Amino acid sequence: MSKKNPKALRALLPLATRDYRLLFAAVGIEVFGTGMWTIVMVFQVLALNDSPLALSAVATGMSLGLFAFAILGGVVADRFSKRRIIITVQGCTALVMAAVATLSLTGTIELWHVGVASFAMGAGSAFFYPAYSAYLPQVLPPEQLLAANGLEGALRPSMGQGLGPALGGIIVGAFFPAIGAVIVAASYGIAFLIVLFLSRREETNEAAATDQANVWDDLKAGIRYVAGTRWLLWTLIFGSSLALIIQGPIEVLLPFLTRDRFEDAEATFGILLAAFGIGGAFGSLVVSSLKLPRRYLTFMILCWGGGTLPLVLLGTADSLPLMLASLFVVGAATGAGVVIWGTLLQRLVPLDMIGRVASLDFFVSIAFMPVSIAIAGPLSLLVPVESIFIVAGIIPPALALLALAAGRMRIVELQHPLDT
């Protein structure tokens, strides 16, 4: 029994480190607050202006904040103390949410206040996650990074897509949006207090920041590094193509499939999305409990590419259990690949470049998601929805093989063996 325990508990090893426990707790509470905000925001907007146009405009604010600062967030993370960035972001977001809660409680809140809050939350994420990605290798030994990314990968869907929105709906339904806003503000306030206890660490790039000519030079250096690193460049190309192909069908067209096939379309759609999220958490935890695969790039790319094949079943099968199983597998494969991707950024990319590379990945991903969502609807007027899902399941495996060959992934795996 004792021989099996190390493998069984591999995913939990990072929690033995004090600073990681603090980070994990803060991220969990923050993700919970963000998940709850998605519900609070909707009903606060509806209480102020019962208009789909108003809701769409405010909801877009978070994406605009992410998009506007995604690149700058990586440059800042590579120039300055990651710890200070994390603390500053959590503190500023807590203040913004506290202001929203106060305005809502006093009945003086206006629509633009909610829009600004959503924008600020998105902007905060753009600065937080590159700093978090670059800070993690300073907190944990290299062999524990996979487990740490797996824990985070399981935390996000369970708290951000599960508990946060569910509790937000219950609270707003039982009381009113202001109470939900108070809980969101309290969540960020608690996260802020937790990160204050992170240990101070020497960061060599902070001292060297003054030697850099300007932010633009830093950004160009990051772009040159990505463009000159074949495995990194082709992974980003493949990942952005994947987002373009599958995001729209899942976000926009899946509700139409459920409406046409099932009587209770709203509840069925929610269950299907839950299966996708649970699959992501499962895949993250499974990968984090194992050693990094010897063929780590091959495994990651094939997870993403081959993991879309079950989408074919969504287009051909009208059985709910089969559709649930398909989305669970897609989510599990996606989650497993994301965990390995985050780990490779922290293991193979130079420490003073992680923030910029992470932000470029972030920027490319979010840039293609709205494009995919925008074209999915018009495309469905020309092509049957079922056919779109079939094509979305078939194309990524072919693109995965292309990325493996063009990125020379096998050569990188041989030159840089990890955890062997």
| Model pLDDT for residues 63-118, shown as the tens digit of each residue | 788 888 888 888 888 888 999 999 999 999 999 999 999 998 888 888 889 889 98
Q: Report the domain count for the chain.
A: 2
User: Do residues 267 and 383 share a domain?
Assistant: yes
Specify the 3-state DSSP secondary structure of 59. Answer: helix
Q: Which of 162, 195, 228 is the last residue of a domain?
A: 195
Do 226 and 364 sit in the same domain of this protein?
yes
In 10 A of CB 256, how many CB atoms? 16
Question: Is residue 207 scored above 50 in pLDDT?
Answer: no
CATH code, domain carrying 338: 1.20.1250.20
Q: CA–CA separation, 155 vs 139, rounded Å?
A: 19
Same domain? 293 vs 324: yes
Mean pLDDT (whole number) for 316-324: 87
Q: What is the pLDDT of residues 254-310, one digit of tens each?
A: 877 887 888 776 677 777 877 888 888 899 889 888 888 899 999 999 999 999 999
- Whether 165 shows a pLDDT value over 70: the answer reads no
Q: Is 22 a domain residue?
A: yes
- Residue 237, in any domain of the structure: yes
Helix (H, G, I), strand (E, B) or coil at 50: coil
Give yes or no: residues 173 and 222 share one domain: no
Task: Give yes or no for a contact between 44 and 177, defined as CB atoms under 8 angstroms apart.
Answer: yes
Is 202 part of a structural domain of the chain? no
CA 336 to chain centre: 13
335 domain-assigned: yes
Q: Could you tell me if residue 37 is inside a domain?
A: yes
Tell me what pLDDT residue 2 has: 43
Q: Are residues 183 and 222 in the same domain?
A: no
Write the CA distances from 410 to 6, 390, 395, integer angstroms: 29, 30, 22
206 lies in a domain?
Answer: no
Q: How far apart are CA 235 and CA 2, in angstroms?
A: 39
Question: Which residues 6+ apart lie within 8 Å of 293 measured at CB?
Answer: 299, 340
Could you list the residue range(s) of the whole structural domain that residue 84 is in?
A: 5-195
pTM of the model: 0.77
Angle value at C-alpha 280, between 408 and 41, nearest 5 degrees: 120
Residue 203 forms part of a structural domain: no
- Distance in angstroms (rounded) separating the CA atoms of residues 272 and 264: 12
Between CA 272 and CA 275, with CA 274 as vertex, the angle to 5 degrees is 65
177-189: b (≥16 Cβ within 10 Å) or e: bbbbbbbbbbbbb
